[in-house]
Amino acid sequence: MEDIKLTNKSTKSGSEETQEELKENNEKMKSVKEYGNTTMAVPNERIQVLSIIGQIEGHNVSPAQTKATKYEHVIPQLISIEQNKNVKGVLIVLNTVGGDVEAGLAISEMINSISKPTVSIVIGGGHSIGVPLATSSDYSFITPSATMIIHPIRMNGFIIGVSQTFDYFKKMQERINDFIVRTSNIKLEKLEEFMMQTDELLNDVGTILIGKQAVDCGLIDEVGGISKALEKLNELIGDEK
Write out the catalytic residue numbers: 128, 151
> Which stretches of 44-86 are assigned E, i.e. beta strand?
47-57, 68-70
Distance between CA atoms of 128 and 180, rounded to whole angstroms?
12
Distance between CA atoms of 147 and 99, rounded to whole angstroms?
16
Write the CA distances from 142 to 48, 68, 139, 181, 205, integer angstroms: 19, 21, 11, 18, 23
Helices and strands, number each (H, E), in the chain: 8, 8
Nearest C-alpha neighbor of 94 from the set 229, 235, 3: 229
Locate all alpha helices (DSSP H) within 114-225, ordered by sequence.
130-135, 163-183, 188-195, 212-216
39 DSSP 8-state letter = G
Cβ atoms of 107 and 126 closer than 8 Å: no
